[in-house]
Structure 1
Amino acid sequence: MFNQTTDVTVIRRVAIVGSGLAGLTAAILLQSHGHDVTVFEKSRGPGGRLAAKRVNGSSVDIGAQYFTARNPDFLPFLARYAGPDSFAKWHGRFGFQAPTGDWWAFPEEPRYVGQPRMTAITRALSVHVPVEAETRVGKLARRGDGWSLEASGGRDLGEFHQVIITAPPAQARALLADSGLGFLAEQLNDAVSRVLPCWAVAAHFPECPWPDHEGMRCQHPALDWVANNSSKPGRNGQGQWWVMHASSAWSQQHLDTAPDRVAGKLVDAFRELTGYPGMPDEMLSHRWLYARSDGGGQPGHLWFEENGIGLAGDWLSGGRVEGAFNSATGLVQAMASQG
């Protein structure tokens, strides 16, 4: 589907809020259909939850840790628009901990990562479409049959026929409410209530602290996920960087805890989990306020045809990285069927 173009009689101007995987996928597909797209990103660069931080001699993934490719269109899309060298299989040993404390192997399934960091994928995708970085969309205003966009500082961003919002549901709801679209904002109330936070900590060890797995789903009050980031393809540097994701409940309890204290607590939990006696020689923390969605309706996407406003994101399609792609492709198909 993604490599087909459609003859269009009307070229629409479409604004896309957010340059994560969903936003960039939607932008590329709409542009391939002949539409004029502009992506607005509040941060300095694209990525969304495909996030990484540079560290001495390497980088460390602090957001999504890997992705699957159950949709047969997903990998060909990435290969064409991000390039076949922007991602690779992660040949790690993955385990999950049973309530008894025993470790079991993950089901066999190819798992992929961006190379040499997760952001390599969105950086490569972003070169195909116009992206206005460091631009937070603050308000939509009706202009005829379209929308005028205004930045949070009041700057005019132009007029568009349609708008796609790929921000997390809390941010999407706020934008709609600030735009006088309360009737649409209210439809996100349940989704907002289901989005959970996550503290992420990256710690560097001079030696391997745990030789049994490269990725672990944990049964621990503080830890949900632990991974050897240095085992992923394309990573280099001395020693090993490990990434720790706190559980949603623990993250909620420590939402306002200082980052250095969070790092210390999660490293202590990691040492308790693994029995490793040593300490890391470097640590960094990142708080994700909107990490994942806990159940609820999964319609794939939302398309309000009468308003010309669509929403896409992994939170609408299973919560996985691949879900962002599925959500965006579904939304573009719905918009195309409008004619």
Structure 2
Amino acid sequence: MIDSRKSHTPLRQVAIVGSGLAGLVAATELRIAGVAVTLFEKSRGPGGRMAAKRLPAPADGSADIGAQYFTVRNPAFRQFLEQYAGNDCWGEWQGRFRYQDDQGSWQDMRPAQRFVGIPRMSAITRAISAGLDVRSGVRIARLQRNDQELWTLTDTEGGTHGGYDAVVLTPPPAQTDELLTDSGLSELADDLNIRISRMQACWTVVVHFPQGSGAGVEGFMPNSSLLNWAANNSSKPGRDDDGEWWVLHGDPDWSDANTDMAPDQVRETLLAEFLRCSGVTAQPDNFLVHRWLYAKPRARTAQGHLWFADQRIAVAGDWLDGGRVEGAFNSAAGLISRLQAEGLISDLAQPR
């Protein structure tokens, strides 16, 4: 039986599953409030969908294979980046960006400041993670609560990590659902599924044009059932590439329907569509293919975050706030504000 008095006890130690932007924002602000935080990351390092992947030899660099850029509408997000990422690892990506309307005509995208990490998108999350306790290469498989109402996390290798007052889950909804279900928390999983929408897949192809592509733009969205987005990654600030590396994102519906397609076929399909839509005649000489199983929410989802007070489990992520990079910040910051309002953590020592 849950001791209702416990639900009002301030948080002292919190585990966060996932070290994408939402997890890092929550960890940073919890630490400011005096809470001890441990992040568990299944990959080799922090980043989540703000990911970059090393380019194949002989290239010396990386390409942004996840989020291509971000905007800043919330002044608190800018303040957070300036304070905890610094100003050297992100900047504005200027260029020509176009979209193709339903009649096939090309139009300029709406003017906006588009920001990217420098020299790669993951530079932002790596900067924020400095000083945080991030346990990389640890995939959490199960959560268990003891008689003292403290959580123990068990990883896929059988290792245990215990003594946490609360757990914050930031993986995509399908993985969060699986973790809750495998932990005997089916009620929470059912609640999660009622509140959120499904995430769609995305095939990503990175191609290199040794003499440049001649596309005449830095990024575009064609009216295509195959290709959703194409961008000249080499045009972003801080990149020092020979030639041009282009990132091609498959259409979400097409990617969903073809998640098991052979990578070589994906490459050929998206490259052919890129050449058709752009009018580029140059041929690439190097490739990289990546599949995102959980890339984009089908629609706007539950508002901001979820907090299951009796179990002291929270769910946060950009997919709970529109799917944009800034949504990850808003989701985590909203969760922290709620914990403050409920008296579970102290007021932040520094303003957001």
Partner SS for 1:227: strand
Partner Cα distance (1:321, 1:66) in 2? 8
- The aligned counterpart of 2:130 is 127
Moved more, 39-48 or 152-161: 152-161
Question: Deviation at 1:241?
Answer: 0.3
Partner SS for 2:74: coil
Mapping of residues 236-315 of structure 1, within 5 Å: 236-315=240-319
Contact 1:97-1:104 within 8 A present in 2 as well: yes
Question: Deviation at 1:86?
Answer: 0.7
Partner Cα distance (1:311, 1:169) in 2? 9
- The aligned counterpart of 1:18 is 18
Mapping of residues 57-206 of structure 1, within 5 Å: 57-143=60-146, 144-190=148-194, 194-206=198-210
- Cα distance 1:302–1:210, how it changes in 2: closer, same or farther (>3 A)? farther
- Aligned CA RMSD, in angstroms, stands at 1.4
- The aligned counterpart of 2:215 is 211
Contact 1:190-1:296 within 8 A present in 2 as well: no
Question: Deviation at 1:182?
Answer: 0.3
Contact 2:300-2:323 within 8 A present in 1 as well: no
- The aligned counterpart of 2:27 is 27
Amino acid at match of 1:29: E
Partner Cα distance (1:64, 1:290) in 2? 12
Contact 1:301-1:330 within 8 A present in 2 as well: yes
Partner SS for 1:318: coil
Equivalent pairs: percent with the same residue? Answer: 50
Partner SS for 1:73: helix
Question: Deviation at 1:12?
Answer: 1.1
Unaligned runs of 5+ in 1: 1-8
Q: Does 1:221 align with 2:225?
A: yes
Contact 2:13-2:164 within 8 A present in 1 as well: yes
Contact 2:208-2:285 within 8 A present in 1 as well: yes
Where in structure 1 do 4 or more consecutive aligned residues deviate above 4 Å? 190-193
- The one-character-per-residue Cα deviations of 1:191-217 (angstroms, maximum 9, x if unpaired) are 665210000010000123243321111
Partner SS for 1:295: coil
Partner Cα distance (2:196, 2:282) in 1? 40
- The one-character-per-residue Cα deviations of 1:112-149 (angstroms, maximum 9, x if unpaired) are 00000000001111113100000011111112222111
Contact 2:196-2:302 within 8 A present in 1 as well: no
Partner Cα distance (1:88, 1:322) in 2? 15
Partner Cα distance (1:12, 1:49) in 2? 29
Partner Cα distance (1:188, 1:241) in 2? 39
Partner Cα distance (2:73, 2:197) in 1? 28
Question: Deviation at 1:296?
Answer: 4.5
Amino acid at match of 1:284: L
- The aligned counterpart of 2:347 is none
Amino acid at match of 1:88: G
**Aligned pairs, number:** 331
Contact 2:63-2:233 within 8 A present in 1 as well: yes
